[in-house]
Amino acid sequence: MTVRTRFAPSPTGYMHIGGMRTALFNWLWARHNNGSFILRIDDTDQQRNMQEAIGPILDAFRWLGLDWDEGPECGGDCGPYYQSQRRKLYDAGLQQLLASGQAYRDFEPAAETQAQREAAERAQQPFVSSRASLQLSAEQIQENLDAGTPHVIRLLIPRERQLTITDHVRGEVTWDCSLMPDPVIARSDGSPLYNFATVIDDSSMQITHVIRAEEHLSNTPIQVLIHEALGQQTPEWAHIPYVAAPGSKEKISKRKIDKYRKSPQFARLFEMGDEILGQIGLDATADALSPVMVAWYEQVGFTPAGVLNGLVRTGWSLDDRTELFSLAEMIEQFSLSRVIRSPAGLDPDRMLNFQSHWISELSDDARLQGCLGFLQRGGLLQDPVPAEAQQLTARVITLAGDRLRLFGDILSFREFFVAGEDYPFDEKAFAKRVLKKAETKEHLAALQAQLADASTWQAEALSGLLNTFLEQQSLRAGDVFPALRVCVTGKGQGPDLFETLELLGQERVLSRLTSSLQKAAKPEVG
């Protein structure tokens, strides 16, 4: 039998990082088995702008390169793929259960049921349905129906059952059905509830493996019972642990972003993001854009491979040594049996580490393409990027080397993209490397004269010039190089100085040196 897995998001308008991990596991299991991956929109209770609500979700899949064989946009043999359009199927299932007596119309007022539930809770007893409506005669039921008395449809739980499932990650899990209330499967307006619609859909879409977060574990006995009542085969189950917030065991949630901002584990990631998002005109404090959302990673310049590797290694491992997985390797190696049982916290440091690895695997051109958009949005490059600006960018990227961990990091090399001095200037570094020793200014002035006379402005020649200068003046590299760097880049450290000078160009180096020396002459100003 071909494996068919599904991911069934409700249209919320964003893609949660934990949900993405669940989707990835489903996708990997399908691909690993040469099966199909289905995307289904669980919108039984939503009535909002669908495009707006599912767009970001589909975008996240597309960005990560996770394709779906059936679902929105592409359709498929088991469509439609929106629950809101599958009402006929649900109604038929409901009729079947009603006819077979495995479900019943419950006319008990909701307030009454609620009161019973509360009473049971107060008495510290498990709550089970009163089933008062089961005592109604056929005539009474018809009268109620004719009178339009509101009622829901409940599944009749077989209370004598002990129900055991064999879960791919939890093993055997057993429930005592005598402790379960009869679940509502259709609202008083006749519309189906999640547990019921899901079962109908999983069955009619021939889903073989339901891989979902463990918060659904308690829904499983109900779903098994519905499958059985309908005479359907049950899919195989795999309840994977939810993704926890860094350094905690709590499910990561978009409602706790303020708390995460203050957590030491998360701090670095937020800082990096804020720095970048601020420069490209996005609101870094918006709840919709945080490391809880997949979109955030794209917006700050993660690569899909980095995010994917991070996700697959939270809650799953191959063995005791393999950390790096390309998408192809994940497909090859993924298995449900090696999913971890306990919740795994999202680890920002490892995310970053995987990201640095995968960005370094990219071709020069891919890195260039990734960075250009950030420079444009940051206002440092025009929209059609002029050829020479592209060349410059490519050279800055090469120079930056592994300092470029995110595409968005290119924005921290602003000094190469502006003609004037509109870039951050590290005053502390300036004070330490330039102002601290009086003679440094003289050295820089002498050096500037030589740089002004330089006829060839290339790294190699500049290296020669600078080293010769050191010899002439009997100085050490540390006496001049760091100072020169601060003067022309505003930074206390960075990539190779000679390459930096070459890329900056003679004109900018000289003018920035001039203004730095002016500044040094009157340090009290500013």
Partner RNA sequence: GGCCCCUUCGUCUAGUUAGGCCUAGGACAUCGGGUUUUCAUCCCGGUAACAGGGGUUCAAAUCCCCUAGGGGUCACCA
CB of 313 to RNA, least distance (A): 5
Say whether residue 42 binds RNA (CB under 7 A): yes
Say whether residue 50 binds RNA (CB under 7 A): no
Q: How many residues does the chain have?
A: 526
Burial tier of 384 (Cβ tally within 10 Å: 0-12, 13-18, 19+): exposed
Region 307-336 residues binding RNA, contact defined as CB under 7 A? 313-317, 319-321, 323
Region 82-101 residues binding RNA, contact defined as CB under 7 A? 83
Q: Tell which one of 251, 256, 395, 414 touches RNA (CB under 7 A).
A: 251
Coil, helix or strand for 441? helix
Structural contact between residues 412 and 275, judged by C-beta atoms closer than 8 angstroms: yes
Q: CB nearer to RNA: give 150 or 379.
A: 150
CB of 523 to RNA, least distance (A): 22
Catalytic one of 251, 254, 432, 519: 254
The tokens for 181 are 């209330």
Say whether residue 71 binds RNA (CB under 7 A): no
CB of 281 to RNA, least distance (A): 27
CB of 360 to RNA, least distance (A): 8
Say whether residue 286 binds RNA (CB under 7 A): no
DSSP strands (E only) in 120-261: 152-155, 162-167, 171-176, 184-186, 209-213, 236-240, 243-244
Name the CA radius of gyration of the chain, rounded: 32
CB of 36 to RNA, least distance (A): 21
Region 349-368 residues binding RNA, contact defined as CB under 7 A? 349-350, 352-353
Say whether residue 10 binds RNA (CB under 7 A): yes
CB of 388 to RNA, least distance (A): 25
CB of 173 to RNA, least distance (A): 4
Instruction: Residue 483: name the closest of 436, 523, 449 by CA.
Output: 436
DSSP strands (E only) in 29-180: 36-39, 103-106, 152-155, 162-167, 171-176
How far apart CA 242 and CA 197 sit, in angstroms, is 23
Region 389-418 residues binding RNA, contact defined as CB under 7 A? 401-403
Candidates 22-30, 64-72, 188-196, 416-424; binding stretch for RNA (CB under 7 A):
188-196
> CB count, 10 Å around CB of 496?
13
How far apart CA 157 and CA 126 sit, in angstroms, is 15
Say whether residue 473 binds RNA (CB under 7 A): no
Q: Tell which one of 140, 178, 218, 472 touches RNA (CB under 7 A).
A: 218
Q: CB nearer to RNA: give 144 or 188.
A: 188
Candidates 55-63, 340-348, 448-456, 514-522; binding stretch for RNA (CB under 7 A):
340-348
Q: CB nearer to RNA: give 212 or 381.
A: 212
Q: Omega of the bond prior to 183 within 30 degrees of 0, cis?
A: no
232 conformational bin, left if phi > 0, alpha if psi -120 to 50, beta if neither: beta
Judged by CB under 7 A, the number of residues near RNA is 84
The tokens for 348 are 């920002």
Candidates 20-28, 165-173, 293-301, 365-373; binding stretch for RNA (CB under 7 A):
165-173
x/- mask, RNA, residues 118-137, rule CB under 7 A, reads ---x--x-xx----------
Q: What is the largest CA-CA distance in the chain?
A: 112
Coil, helix or strand for 174? strand
Q: CB nearer to RNA: give 496 or 507.
A: 496
Q: Report CA-CA distances (Å) from 151 to 101, 109, 129, 187, 386.
A: 16, 8, 14, 8, 68
Query: Is 262 one of the catalytic residues?
Result: no
CB of 282 to RNA, least distance (A): 26
Q: CB nearer to RNA: give 246 or 282.
A: 246
Region 506-525 residues binding RNA, contact defined as CB under 7 A? none
Structural contact between residues 477 and 484, judged by C-beta atoms closer than 8 angstroms: no
Q: CB nearer to RNA: give 296 or 316.
A: 316
> CB count, 10 Å around CB of 128?
17
Residues paired with 71 in a beta bridge: 75
Catalytic residue list = 254
